[in-house]
Amino acid sequence: MLKALKLFLKGALLDQSTEKIEAKSKELNDRLLLLILSHKLGVPNPFFYHCVELLPYLSENLKGLERRILDRKSLISRLTGEIGEP
Amino acid sequence: MNLNGFKYFFLSGKGGVGKTTSSILMALYFSQRGEKTLLVSLDPAHSLGIALKAKLGELPKKVEEKLFALEVNPEKEMEKYLKKVEKEARQIVSPAFLGEVEEELKLAHSSPGALELATADAIYRIAVEGRGFDKIVFDTAPSGYTVRLVASPNSIVKWWKGLISVREEALKYEFLSNLKEKRKLKEIFREDPILKVLTKRLKEYETLKELFTGKETAFGVVFNEGLLPREIGVRTVRELEEAGAPVKFLVFNRVKNGIESLKAKNKIVIKVPEFKEEPIGIEKLKELLKLTRWEVK
């Protein structure tokens, strides 16, 4: 019972307070990835050869990056982008 | 001014003007004066081994007293590096994302500038590992290529610094949102694999920039009698100087008259005369070195 209450409070108070900050960090990582993969926007990255070394560590951001970038305007898709595909 | 004050030498010039012969003469000159010299060929189409009549590889091979030589194969370096990244990806990336990473890796192989960057990696490695040598002479690939290689480190340093600040910012927000995090922010920065890679590259490029524009380095351009090598050579000197590379010497290979359009002030001119036959093999090259004159203008 106490455990459930603890979880409820965490969800209601803590997660809510940190989720915007977390989203900001994800957005910054997306920005980093976009700088590396600028060819996706049609701007070749002259240092791409040295940047591929970073991709294994950023792989989770790689999925759905294009969709998130393309759909920035739509709030729903942005949210689903942050939550991830079902 | 003389060339003994420098440690690194880069020879540039149009293909076929005699860069390889000139680099060997230069390296021989230093080694005969008792300096431990390393001769490096960066040209993907290697001719150093042929000119020295020796089988050369990636590791320094002794070809003469105090003289060592090696050939860098940028293609092979590229292959090795990308294989390493791929292996790493297989280890840490979850199978769901692996496909996308592998696709980007395939792209990297043929991405513009890949070969240049692989060559830059090799120069960096040789400069770091070659600390035991007194002189290192690089027989570089044709001019435009060399110029780009030299001109890019300046902007590249800024660019990597930008990436570092974005990643640090992202980590900062992640740190703030993760209430269970016990480490300090500094520790997180230190342990982050992405920051590790970024700072490694930054260091590499800062070293290269220092190497290409520093006081220990002398660039030289090789000329010969033809009109094209002359014009391209003059242009190379200008481009190198604009890029911040110190052009300290000119090699006139079988050039009969001076080159008027060239302001050869404060530059050492090395005059290599016509030789009775093709100077292949160390003995013939030694003979040619005896006929070569070094002039300070």
- The answer as to whether B286 is a domain residue is no
Interface residues of A toward B, Cβ cutoff 8 Å, are: 14, 18-19, 21-22, 24-26, 28-29, 31-32, 35-37, 39, 44-50, 52-60, 62-63
Who has greater pLDDT, B260 or A40? A40
- The answer as to whether B96 is a domain residue is no
Domains of chain A by residue range: 20-83
Number of domains forming the structure of chain B: 1
Contacts of B107 in chain A (CB under 8 A): 39, 48
Who has greater pLDDT, B255 or B261? B255
Please report the pLDDT score of residue B1 as a whole number: 61
Task: Compute the distance between CA of residue B212 and CA of residue B7 in angstroms, rounded to an integer.
Answer: 12
Q: What is the 3-state secondary structure (H, E, C) of chain B?
A: CCHHHCCEEEEECCCCCCHHHHHHHHHHHHHHCCCCEEEEECCCCCCHHHHHCCCCCCCCEEEECCEEEEECCHHHHHHHHHHHHHHHHHHHCCHHHHHHHHHHHHHHHCCCCHHHHHHHHHHHHHHHHHHHCCEEEEECCCHHHHHHHHHHHHHHHHHHHHHHHHHHHHHHHHHHHCCCCCCCHHHHHHHCHHHHHHHHHHHHHHHHHHHHHCCCEEEEEEEECCHHHHHHHHHHHHHHHHCCCCEEEEEEECCCCCCCCCCCCCCEEEEECCCCCCCCCHHHHHHHHHHCEEEEC
Please report the pLDDT score of residue B208 as a whole number: 84
Do B111 and A53 make contact, defined as CB atoms within 8 angstroms? no
> CA of A72 to nearest chain B CA: how many angstroms apart?
19
Identify the residue whose tokens are 């105090």: B66
Question: Per residue in B54-66, pLDDT tens?
Answer: 999 999 999 999 9
Please report the pLDDT score of residue B13 as a whole number: 85
Do B100 and A53 make contact, defined as CB atoms within 8 angstroms? no
The residues of B annotated with a catalytic role in the active site are 43
pLDDT category at B175 given cuts 50, 70, 90 is very high
Question: Per residue in A19-77, pLDDT tens?
Answer: 888 888 888 999 899 999 988 888 888 889 999 999 999 988 888 787 777 766 656 65
pLDDT category at B172 given cuts 50, 70, 90 is very high
Identify which of A18, A55, A57 has the shortest CB distance to residue B104: A55
Q: Which domain holds residue B28?
A: 3-76+113-279
Contacts of B156 in chain A (CB under 8 A): 47
Identify the residue whose tokens are 């930008």: B162
Identify the residue whose tokens are 């001019």: B143
Please report the pLDDT score of residue A86 as a whole number: 45
Cβ-Cβ contacts under 8 Å between A and B: the total is: 107
- The answer as to whether B108 is a domain residue is no
- The answer as to whether B244 is a domain residue is yes
- The answer as to whether B101 is a domain residue is no
Percent pLDDT > 70 in chain B is 91
Question: Per residue in B74-83, pLDDT tens?
Answer: 889 999 999 9
Interface mutation vs chain B, best among A19, A53, A60, most B CBs within 10 Å: A53
Question: Per residue in B32-42, pLDDT tens?
Answer: 999 999 999 98
Mean pLDDT over each residue of chain B, to the nearest integer: 87
**Lowest-confidence region among A29-33, A81-85, B96-100:** A81-85
Do B112 and A24 make contact, defined as CB atoms within 8 angstroms? no
Identify which of B78, B173, B194 has the shortest CB distance to residue A21: B173
CATH number of the domain where residue B241 is located: 3.40.50.300
β-pairing verdict for B37-41 and B61-64: unpaired
Structure tokens at B224: 């010969």
Who has greater pLDDT, B264 or B277? B277
> What average pLDDT does the segment B214-219 reach?
90
> What average pLDDT does the segment B110-133 reach?
88
